[in-house]
Amino acid sequence: MGQQPRARIKVDTDRVIGVVDPRLFGNFAEHLGRCIYGGIFDEGSPLADSDGYRRDVMEAARGLGVSLLRWPGGNFASGYNWKDGIGPRDKRPVRPEGAWGGVEPNRFGTDEFLRYCERLGVQPYICINAGLGTIEEAREWVEYVNESRHTYWADQRRKNGRDKPYGVKYWGLGNEIDGPWQLGHKNAEDYTKFALEAAKAMRRADESIALIASGSSNFRGDWVTWNRVVLERLKSEIDFISLHTYIGNRENNFERFLAASADLDERIEVVEGLIRAAQAGAANPRPIHIAFDEWNVWYRARGGGEFATGRTRLEEIYNYEDALAMGMFFNSFFRHANIVTIANLAQLVNVIAPIFTNEKGLFLQPIYFPIAEYGKQRGNVALNALVTSPEYEVPGKGKLKYLDVSASYDGKGKAVYLNVLNRGENMDISARIDNVEGKPDAQVDVWEMNHAGLKATHTFGDDHKVRPVTRTVRVSLRANGFTYTFPRHSLTILKLKL
Ligand code: AHR
């Protein structure tokens, strides 16, 4: 207990992986439980503005630094007809909802979503219905949203109060179509036929859109083949392939829980390889990146069967160790910044979310804080830091470093950010930190999340205990570096000024 084994972190601002894309700080809002109704949108609530948007949720979403918002699902998307959600609200149909077993009042639809994004200053990302929907509906949706001429659907938009096209750039070609739980689930052959024609038709409506193919929903079964076929058949049309993953501490083993980075790194690298393989030999291949457009910790609030129509609201209450997992996810995304350029936390509010409301207010879950903090590194370049660290053995994954690290560099501000997760449950780790290109300033800014109780949670009126602290420390420099001790089970971001 408590010994301080030595680790080493060496940063070199020339070893650039790629830009920390602002779209890595995306989020997701699905018609599910209380994410939209009672979360984002709460008509008649004293906390909502005249359009029905919850002001407190908007403020919390701003603080989270959301850049891109995916909507309307998720599984919901595969049964959704967007035409139900436009026009006068009181005339919209109320429908049974097939993915999660609720009733959809359709009071929040395309215009409400896109106005919300504009208010929030985030880019919208719409996922089409590639389950029960048709290609023509998808094409018409693009026309409704983006067409500037006087066409039927553009004029419907004008009738509904919006003259100027919204200019939605990001369009998902369906959600988790590989999953048997999905309404309108398809095999890879049928999906790629559909998606190819949908892409063609949607681009005829607006050729400037970016398209995201439905990659493997998780990493079960033959996920490699699904992704290979999707890439092979859709490579000339798509800009991104989407991946999803949810993790959980089912074994109640802290160090194994945070070993999920090994899977994450491996899967990203496999899909990167599949992208390269699909493009091999082409003179001028269309660039394709990974959109990790659903990720989070999710294992407690799952309802009946994992994807059963369980009428569950997915109201996961997050604890301190889940907050550390946020650092683990971002470290992996940063380490693969050349290929992962979109990521959407699932989801924004109430449903597996960092923001949790009731009719009187909200509280911020522990996972909120690392997400907001990593977001401040957007636009930096991710660096390939050299890390040596004491290791631990994880069944099925081999040896893993206790320190899980990513780094980024802000060239304008001349600062290196070191993001260090110490996943040693009971082990402080002292590390020698060196900057190859010269002496850093002896004053180092520290952001640290640390709590004695791994299972500590927040609730209404009590959301201050699992929060980060910040301080500036004076390190004692030797050559180009110094020694710093990363406390057991903590997440630290060090800002070194060069
Ligand atoms: O985010 C919750 C659900 O998880 C989404 O609807 C689905 O895409 C995924 O399986």
233-264 pLDDT, tens digit per residue, is 999 999 999 999 999 999 999 999 999 999 99
Domain count, the chain: 2
Q: Are residues 368 and 387 in the same domain?
A: no
Q: Of 378, 412, 445, which residue constitutes the final position of a domain?
A: 378
Asked if residue 184 is part of any domain, the answer here is yes
Task: Answer whether residue 340 is part of any domain.
Answer: yes
pTM of the model: 0.97
- The CATH number of whichever domain residue 445 belongs to comes to 2.60.40.1180
Do 32 and 10 belong to one domain? no
Nearest atom of ligand 1 to the alpha carbon of 314: 2
pLDDT of res. 302: 82
387 shares a domain with 359: no
Asked if residue 1 belongs to a domain, the reply is no
Q: Is residue 417 part of a domain?
A: yes
Where is the domain boundary, 352, 378, 404? Answer: 378
pLDDT of residue 309: 47
Give yes or no: residues 257 and 317 share one domain: yes
Q: Is the CB of 182 under 6 A from ligand 1?
A: no
Is 70 part of a structural domain of the chain? yes
Q: How many CB atoms lie within 10 A of CB 446?
A: 16
In a domain, 248, yes or no: yes
Whether ligand 1 lies within 6 angstroms of the CB of 322 is answered as no
Looking at the fold, whether 387 and 271 belong to one and the same domain comes out as: no
Give the domain-ending residue among 331, 349, 378: 378
pLDDT of residue 305: 46
What contacts 310, CB < 8 A, 6 or more positions away? Answer: 100, 101, 302, 303, 304
Whether 387 and 310 share a structural domain: no
The answer to the question of residue 195 being in a domain is yes
Residues 202 and 125 in one domain: yes
Smallest CA separation from ligand 1 atom 2, residue: 74
pLDDT tens-place string over residues 74-107:
999 999 999 999 999 999 999 999 999 889 999 9
**Does residue 352 sit in the same domain as residue 288?**
yes
How do the pLDDT tens digits run along the chain, 498 residues long? 445 669 999 999 999 999 999 999 999 999 999 999 999 999 999 999 999 999 999 999 999 999 999 999 999 999 999 999 999 999 999 999 999 988 999 999 999 999 999 999 999 999 999 999 999 999 999 999 999 999 999 999 999 999 999 999 999 999 999 999 999 999 999 999 999 999 999 999 999 999 999 999 988 889 999 999 999 999 999 999 999 999 999 999 999 999 999 999 999 999 999 999 999 999 999 999 999 999 999 999 886 544 444 457 899 999 999 999 999 999 999 999 999 999 999 999 999 999 999 999 999 999 999 999 999 999 999 999 999 999 999 999 999 999 999 999 999 999 999 999 999 999 999 999 999 988 999 999 999 999 999 999 999 999 999 999 999 999 999 999 999 999 999 999 999 999
Residue-number span of the structural domain to which 409 is assigned: 6-14+383-497
CA 171 / ligand 1 centre spacing (Å): 17
Same domain, 342 and 491: no
Does residue 55 sit in the same domain as residue 170? yes
316 and 180 share a domain? yes
For 271-322, the pLDDT digits (tens) are: 999 999 999 999 999 999 999 999 999 999 886 544 444 457 899 999 999 9
What pLDDT sits at residue 303?
A: 65
Residue at 124 is within a domain: yes
Task: Say yes or no: 326 and 437 in one domain.
Answer: no
CATH number at residue 318: 3.20.20.80
Question: Mean pLDDT score of the chain, rounded to an integer?
Answer: 96
Residue 78 Cβ inside 6 Å of ligand 1? The answer reads no
Which positions are annotated as active-site residues?
176, 294
CB distance 30 to ligand 1 below 6 Å: yes
Protein residue closest via CA to atom 8 of ligand 1 = 74
Q: How far is the CA of 112 from the centre of ligand 1 (A)?
A: 22
